[in-house]
Structure 1
Amino acid sequence: MRYRSLFPRDLFAELDRLQRQAQQSLDATPSIRGWNYGAYPAMNVGTTPKSVEVYAFAPGVDPAAVEVQIEKGVLTIAGERKPVAPEEKAAVHIDERFAGRFRRVVTLPDDVDANAAAARYRDGVLHISIPRREAVQPRRIAIE
């Protein structure tokens, strides 16, 4: 069991936190599909025969502070999450909630129709639906 002090002046606790952050950044390696575990916001990306569905889990983010862009087959979600200010006389001992600027990038399949993409934000979840072009959807051909 790891020991973590609740008091910010504990040098060993601070060094332990820095070591964990460095290890997490080394474990998260980039790939063509985006960052692995530990990136913010957490995302689920899936496909159906008719669309690509992207869910970004970003509670506490103002939807007006989020920018969604599709350019050259790449979906970019960028924005900022404001820090929560503690009460005036409160001392903060542990602050694990992410605050600051974020950016996630996902490579999309070639057959998506970026002009018909739709995004909505509800209950802390950003849902982006990008339909596939009709011409490339599989269809059954009757044999005569």
Structure 2
Amino acid sequence: MFDEGLQIKGDAINVLYKLPDTLTIKDTLKGYIVYKSVYDTLRVPNKEHFVDFYLAKTNFLSKDYMEFRTKKSDTFARIRDSIIPIYDITFKKRGAHMLEGYIVDHLYYDVGNDSVHYKSLKNQVMYSVYVK
């Protein structure tokens, strides 16, 4: 069973989550996210665009990105067709588990004269999974 809904804290983002919402204790969480960035449609010459996804098991949501970065997290990167693969997430206990993450969208573009501009977007997300 796949859950297509992703709970997003803050502003809405264009994301489709394809992960199971229920696992057995022997299973690993694996699936993917399809993330469409506002930077995808920019027509800027000499741009570099990267998307990282940080995911952590947690008992509480972080108040901001700086607090989240103190948690142990797994890192995933967006690959072709806006897909972020997620894999090898294991759980040691049965019951409900909460995952918190951040999608961090990086854009670098050359503005000439050996100068580069940098912009980033950070979107906090959460996901619940039940382990039986």
Does TM-score exceed 0.5, indicating one fold? no
TM-score by length of 1: 0.31
Name which structure has the greater RCO, CA cutoff 8 Å, separation 6+.
Answer: 2
The structure that is strand-richer by fraction is: 2
The structure that is helix-richer by fraction is: 1
